Amino acid sequence: MHRMMNTPGTAENALRELFWNAGPQRVQAAFAGFLRDRVDEGRLRIDDVALAASQFFCLLKGELHPMMACGLCNEPRADDVARHTRCQRGLVPARIWPLNPPGAAGGPPHRRWR
């Protein structure tokens, strides 16, 4: 499917849009809704929720995904996957989740997505 979507002349734009809307866009929209709910609750401050959702998934994929998509890494080594997973577990929560619940003592009530 990936090759068909990326090879010129093998898929119509309507098929590409159908694939995008049914997969990546749908997931990003659902996550944006989740983030928007946290903003509405006062737990997060995000200026552009759609952009934050898109960037979240880019952070998750890291370098390993585009290398695989380009055919440079057909089967990632177990230690590369473990390294990527460790990094993402530390990076993503520190980037978007609040330091403390709103109004909690001991620090700022929010982290801000930048």
Domain contains 91 = yes
Per-residue pLDDT of 16-66, as tens digits, reads 888 889 988 999 999 999 999 999 999 888 899 999 999 888 888 888 888
pTM for this prediction: 0.65
Per-residue pLDDT of 81-105, as tens digits, reads 888 877 776 665 555 555 445 555 4
Domain contains 89 = yes
Name the residue range of residue 20's domain. Answer: 2-96
Our count of domains for the chain comes to 1
**Residue 22, phi then psi, degrees to nearest 5:** -80, -20
**Residue whose token pair is 């010129």:** 8
Q: Which residues of 25-42 are buried (b: 16+ CB within 10 A; e: fewer)?
A: eeebeebbeebbebbeee
Q: What is the mean pLDDT of residues 71-90?
A: 82
**pLDDT: is 83 or 112 the higher one?**
83
Domain contains 107 = no
CB atoms near residue 51 (< 10 Å): 13
CB contact at 8 A, 58 and 40:
no
What's the pLDDT at 31?
A: 94
Helices (H) and strands (E) in the chain, counts: 6, 0
pLDDT for residue 72 is more than 80:
yes
